[in-house]
Amino acid sequence: MVKVSIGVPVYNVDQWLRQCLDSIRQQSFQDFEVIMVDDGSTDNSFEICQEYVSKDERFKLYHQENKGLAGARNTCLKHMTGDFIAWLDSDDWLENDYLERLVSTQAKTGADIVCIGIKTFMNDEFYMGSHQDKYGAFPDHVIPKKIAMSDVFWGIYALISVWGNIMDAKLYKGVVFSEGLNYEDQGNKFKLYLNSKKIVGIPELGYVYRIRSGSITQDGAANFKKIFEGKVMQITNLEKFMYYIENADYEVDYFHSLYSEWLDKQLQSVDSSWDDNQQERYRSFISRHKKLFEKNRN
């Protein structure tokens, strides 16, 4: 058994894939396996993955018909054997000591989740976030569970993405990513936090997140239809989140308050560039879900 299993879902990323996979091979910490799942790529991504399998036995490759990102993650999970699980999106990359910092921090703290800060790469420039500095505000860098979970609403600590951390593989027992939905991180990561005992944040940068034209999170960002569909998916995920919170009877009043506040913020964030019909459609959708939430809450 290896220490860390790294899951790499792959779909039509031949332009960036070698940089991603090379950044794994160049890690100063070497006790890992890489589970690559080609999700029906139509470019040269599958062939590039085969190159790495042929020259490094730690790289394992599986191919499937296109199921989307969540479906690829689920296939990764079926084949992982490591004590800890990490994720790397196939157009992103890692600093050379990424795993070493995460693993050594876990050994020192006994945490079942260890997170590290991310930096963004866009238009050939790096952008340094401030979330990693906030980890240092917690005593011994231990992030309270409810604070970590509340990031599903505001994203203050960049803790919602499944990448940027290592997690005890036991936390994934029984966890399945919701297929057929975008923003699958937001709709699933909280399950892992709910089962965790200790979360530690390293106030440094180690994961490089690439923002590119054509990525899932960037397509049509200025288009009302895309924004509205994204909001529908966000609320679907948050209602799922609230369902889990209520069933677990975990800090229910706290998260009820946060969700109510979040819905109010959405009503205040109507884009003035939208026409009247679009603004009304957006407000009506948010208002309907707020009324439904308040009704179920009482």
Residue 260 token pair: 């109510």
pLDDT confidence of residue 214: 52
Give percent above pLDDT 70 in the chain.
Answer: 95
Q: How many CA atoms lie within 13 Å of 142's alpha carbon, on the beta-carbon side?
A: 11
Q: What is the 3-state secondary structure (H, E, C) of 200-249?
A: EEEEEEEEEEECCCCCCCCCCCCCHHHHHHHHHHHHHHHHHHHHHHHHHC
Predicted TM-score (pTM) of the model is 0.91
CA distance 88 to 52: 16
Question: What's the whole-number mean pLDDT along residues 283-297?
Answer: 91
DSSP strand pairing (32-38 vs 4-10): parallel
- Token pair 């590039």 in the structure block, residue: 48
Instruction: Answer yes or no: are the C-beta atoms of 32 and 82 closer than 8 Å.
Output: yes
Lowest mean pLDDT among 15-24, 48-57, 263-272: 263-272
CATH class of 4-210: alpha beta
Instruction: Answer yes or no: are the C-beta atoms of 120 and 126 closer than 8 Å.
Output: yes
pLDDT tens-place string over residues 97-108: 999 999 999 999
Confidence of residue 82 (pLDDT cuts 50, 70, 90): very high
Element (H, E) at 257: helix 252-268
Confidence of residue 213 (pLDDT cuts 50, 70, 90): low
Dihedral sign, CA of 17, 49, 73, 199?
negative
Closest CA to 255 of 265, 267, 241: 241
CA distance 132 to 204: 6
pLDDT confidence of residue 227: 86
Give percent above pLDDT 90 in the chain.
Answer: 75
pLDDT confidence of residue 230: 86
CA distance 264 to 204: 33
Residue 276 token pair: 């009247």
Q: How many CA atoms lie within 13 Å of 151's alpha carbon, on the beta-carbon side?
A: 25
